[in-house]
């Protein structure tokens, strides 16, 4: 059977496999009429890739997902493929630049792009850190290309295919000429590559963006949608009628009830605790901590420890702190039902990020798990307050006792 690629035609990750196939003389067919959001949700597709992402390559030996793995499979389908160079060191360098293209270039471009188009929360400090990391990568790439036409050797390799397809997003959507002009050798390289016949066959005429897209403002959408409804009564009816019309539009808003509001009343009033925490300036252990345990209701609330899963990445202090700050901003949806304390600890990188959260209810609220994507970046475990050691750990995190578990506290943030 021919190799079959499940994805749309305009996905830059699909181009990697198609261009590699063109250079290799390998036949790869695109699934006809593939519809993103529909075709990749079918049971058949989920069986090939459990998380439903594209592209997926269907082969005689089974499916392959992840675009770089697919491009590698296609290239290796041809014996002694020059796309992998002509020696062991060439092979290593090809793999090196594929990793660099993914981890240093693509990751930063995507992290810059997604918040700009409204697919992630836009945080200026996070964007600054992302652009700085991207420029560092492009500077390294620019230095290498100052004395090399291609990434490895003297002809196109799989590394060039992956790198160019990843840069494609940047050149066409994010990086105008005034940005890329800082990296003239990267510019020369990109335009050389996209004008190669095997690239041009799939990319067509590539045009560099004139400007970085403006930040999408999600809250503006419902306001715009509501305007015509408010204006229509004014045109058709006398002045007294707009007020009832506005009341009718406002009325549906309270309808969705949060399940937490339907829980039995608790003896713990969260606002009272937050007020006590904020107003206690001295004798914190005797006043605030004692007050917390006097208020705490294990039937109406639960305590949770969280530990960041990827602490090895926390090598830059301000980036680590911004990461925590972004998490707390995205938790704003739970402000009525939660209190949190996040600590960044360690005297040297990598820094450790850990936290304590008080949630209404005996489990982590489902709407928080569903709507705050940061939750999956942490390991969560419920605190057992019958265990004196865990109870003391809760007290120490609230109080910011230093050193905490033998480490200095680099930063502490409170969600209240």
User: Which tens digits make up the pLDDT trace of 157-183?
Assistant: 999 999 999 999 999 999 999 999 999
Mean pLDDT value across the chain: 88
| Mean pLDDT for the stretch of residues 330-338 | 90
- Integer Cα distance of 58 and 67 in angstroms: 13
DSSP 8-state symbol, 41: G
Give the tens place of pLDDT for each residue, 99-123: 999 999 999 999 999 999 998 999 9
Rounded CA-CA distance 416/413 in Å is 10
Confidence of residue 402 (pLDDT cuts 50, 70, 90): very high
The per-residue pLDDT for 370 is 85
Residues 204-214, mean pLDDT to the nearest whole number? 93
Task: In the chain, count H helices and then E strands.
Answer: 18, 9
Q: Over the stretch 129-156, which tens digit does the pLDDT of each residue have?
A: 999 999 999 999 999 999 999 999 999 9
pLDDT of residue 244: 38
The conformation of residue 147, written as its DSSP 8-state character, comes to S
What is the third-level CATH fold of 263-415? Answer: Alpha-Beta Plaits (3.30.70)
Report the DSSP beta bridge partners of residue 5. 30, 57
Q: Which pLDDT tens digit goes with each residue over 354-397?
A: 999 999 999 999 989 988 878 989 999 999 999 999 999 999 99
| pLDDT band with cut points at 50, 70 and 90 for residue 329 | confident
pLDDT at 325: 85
The predicted pLDDT at position 248 comes to: 36
Quote the pLDDT of residue 231.
52
> Residue 58's beta-bridge partner residues?
4, 63
Q: What is the rounded CA–CA span in Å between residue 105 and residue 191?
A: 17
The CA distance from 95 to 221, in Å, is 44
pLDDT of 236: 52
Beta bridge mates, 15:
none
Give me the helices (H) in 146-219, please: 158-169, 177-180, 184-194, 197-203
Residue 221 has pLDDT above 80, yes or no: no
What is the pLDDT at residue 258?
A: 86
- The CATH homologous superfamily of the domain defined by 3-76: Glutaredoxin (3.40.30.10)
Residues 364, 383: Cα–Cα separation, whole Å: 12
> Is 93:152 a contact under the CB 8 Å cutoff?
yes
More confident position, 239 or 376: 376
The residues spanned by each domain of the chain are 3-76, 82-203, 263-415
Which of 277-291, 302-316, 318-332, 377-391 comes out lowest in average pLDDT? 318-332
Q: Check pLDDT > 60 for residue 228.
A: no
CATH hierarchy code of domain 82-203: 1.20.1050.10
């Amino acid at each position: 059977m021919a190799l079959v690629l499940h994805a749309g035609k305009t996905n830059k990750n699909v181009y990697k496999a198609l261009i590699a196939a063109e250079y290799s003389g390998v036949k790869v067919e695109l699934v006809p009429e593939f519809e993103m959001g529909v075709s990749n949700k079918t049971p058949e597709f989920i069986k090939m890739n459990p998380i439903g992402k594209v592209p997926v390559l269907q082969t005689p030996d089974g499916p392959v997902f992840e675009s770089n793995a697919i491009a590698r499979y296609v290239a290796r389908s041809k014996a002694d493929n020059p796309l992998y160079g002509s020696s062991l060191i060439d092979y290593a360098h090809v793999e090196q630049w594929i990793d660099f293209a993914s981890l240093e270039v693509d990751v930063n471009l995507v992290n810059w792009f997604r918040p700009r188009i409204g697919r992630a929360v836009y945080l200026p400090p996070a964007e600054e850190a992302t652009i700085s990391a991207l420029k560092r990568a492009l500077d390294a790439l620019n230095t290498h290309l100052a004395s090399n036409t291609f990434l490895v050797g003297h002809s196109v390799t799989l590394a060039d295919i992956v790198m160019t397809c990843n840069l494609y997003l940047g050149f066409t959507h994010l990086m105008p000429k005034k940005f890329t002009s800082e990296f003239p050798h990267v510019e020369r390289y990109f335009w050389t590559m996209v004008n190669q016949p095997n690239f041009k066959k799939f990319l067509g005429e590539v045009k560099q963006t004139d400007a970085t897209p403006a930040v999408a403002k999600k809250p503006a959408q419902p306001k715009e949608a509501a305007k015509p409804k408010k204006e229509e009564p004014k045109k058709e009816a006398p002045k007294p009628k707009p007020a009832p019309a506005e009341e009718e539009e406002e009325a549906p808003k309270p309808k969705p009830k949060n399940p937490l509001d339907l829980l039995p009343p608790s003896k713990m009033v969260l606002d009272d605790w937050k007020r006590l925490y904020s107003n206690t300036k001295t004798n914190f252990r005797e006043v605030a901590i004692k007050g917390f345990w006097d208020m705490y209701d294990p039937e109406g609330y639960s305590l949770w420890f969280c530990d960041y899963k990827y602490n090895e990445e926390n090598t830059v202090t301000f980036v680590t702190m911004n990461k925590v700050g972004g998490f707390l901003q995205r938790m704003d949806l739970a402000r009525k039902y939660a209190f949190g304390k996040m600590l960044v600890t360690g005297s040297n990188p990598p820094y450790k990020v850990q936290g304590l959260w008080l949630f209404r209810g005996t489990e982590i609220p489902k709407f928080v798990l569903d709507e705050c994507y940061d939750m999956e970046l942490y390991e969560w475990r419920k605190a057992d307050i019958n265990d004196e050691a865990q109870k003391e750990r809760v007290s120490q995190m609230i109080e910011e006792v230093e050193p905490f578990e033998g480490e200095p506290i680099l930063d502490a943030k409170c969600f209240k």
